Amino acid sequence: MKILLVGAGGVGSAFCAIAARRDFFESVLVADYSLDSAQRAVDALADPRFTAAQVDASDAASVEDLVRTSGATHVMNAVDPRFVMPIFDGAFAAGADYLDMAMSLSKPHPEQPHALTGVKLGDEQFAVAGEWEAAGRLALCGMGVEPGLSDVFARYAADHLFSEIDELGTRDGANLTVDGYDFAPSFSIWTTIEECLNPPVIWQDGQWFTTEPFSEPEIFDFPEGIGPVECVNVEHEEVLLMPRWVQTKRATFKYGLGNEFIEVLKTLHKLGLDSTDRVNVASTVGGRPTVVPVSPRDVVAASLPNPATLGDRMHGKTCAGLWVTGKDKEGRPRSTYLYHVVDNDWSMQEYGHQCVVWQTAVNPVVALELLASNTWSGTGVLGPEAFDAVPFLELLRDVYGSPWGQKELDPA
């Protein structure tokens, strides 16, 4: 297996640190728009299997050329979702398999955005699933932590814990703090804005529909000392993936953002600072007045600290998990939370990467190891739910040293 990793940011760098401890691959070519960023990720490892290259992730031809010249068998997408389709298309054109941690972007319904779906997350990729299958190629999509591990939990619950599922409810929360900052997101603010301000999608009784952002608030009590956090509906891939392979009456994704974060996002939206459309800004360059086109969302992202650099100032834990309700194998009511918690002190001490990016990055590494051994195999555009969950969960716990948990809740 020869891996082309596109993206040397926080998640990409954590991916390298985790993969460097394993021997299932021949090489990893770390590629980024900034060659310096790619080289820094490689230099941190001192492992000859890792090399650096430059790539334009917005250009499918650039990705295709690098796949061909490197001989990569698998393309791992570790950049934000606006670049999904060029990387996805470039991998296919070059004959490589493909993995990502977020799917192609959605477009709200033009007339009823808070009731009907428009273009859904992943629609562009699923539209060409037949072409990938005919070519004998695999695109394993949504293989991070959320989506990703939560989807693996859905498969596990359906196969081993439940005879009938009422709801697959992804619940994500944390108690993280960052020294010296009043507001410092632990993950890409560009992606967070995209997820949180788009109309959330819900699966109910055989169809998808949308609702208002931040709708249906609830208090969810997260395990391992995190405690109760208010969670709200957010647009996320799990709701679009799980019902394709797992029988369920309802699927939701709720994120424990906290009131302060929600208010910040609402303010950005009111001011138009969540927009990706460029606006002309008067500026001065070299003492001469000029007009510079900029994206407001890019300005917000550039104004905040890079989440990958905050690890030594972060404290607390992050939890990703799936709350499943329905009937157990004997037909009795059951309510179970399957979860994965990472402590920032542990991930920093063990790997030198903060817990949110580490938790995201470990899952595609595990998936690639399963693909390398042919424990997982398939063709077409597939989600994690399409594969046997047990080998994944065992490898994560027993080999990668990151245990997952199971907590029974009151089914009443």
| Cβ(240)–Cβ(206) below 8 Å | no
Tell how strand 380-382 and strand 138-140 pair up. Answer: parallel
pLDDT at 187: 66
The pLDDT assigned to 82 comes to: 92
pLDDT at 25 over 90: yes
Q: Is the pLDDT of residue 310 over 80?
A: no
Q: Quote the pLDDT of residue 347.
A: 96
The tens digit of pLDDT for each residue in 215-226 reads: 999 999 999 999
Query: What's the confidence (pLDDT) of residue 378?
Result: 98
Q: What mean pLDDT comes out for the span 87-105?
A: 98
Burial 34-55 (b: 16+ CB within 10 A, else e): eeebbbebbeebeeebbebbeb
Integer-rounded Cα radius of gyration of the chain: 21
Task: Give the start-to-end residue ranges of the domains of the chain.
Answer: 2-99, 149-268+303-359+401-408
Chain Cα centroid distance, residue 98:
15
The predicted pLDDT at position 181 comes to 77
DSSP state of 305: P
Among candidates 269, 201, 205, which has minimal Cα distance to 236? 201
Residue 241 pLDDT > 70: yes
* Architecture label for domain 149-268+303-359+401-408: 2-Layer Sandwich (3.30)
156 has a pLDDT exceeding 70: yes
314 alpha-carbon distance from chain centroid: 20
DSSP conformation class of 159: I
Contacts of 234 (CB under 8 A, 6+ apart): 195, 196, 200, 213, 214, 253, 254, 255, 257
Second-level CATH architecture of 2-99: 3-Layer(aba) Sandwich (3.40)
Bridge partners (DSSP) of residue 318 are 174, 342
Is the pLDDT score of 197 beyond 90? Answer: no
Query: What average pLDDT does the segment 323-332 reach?
Result: 98
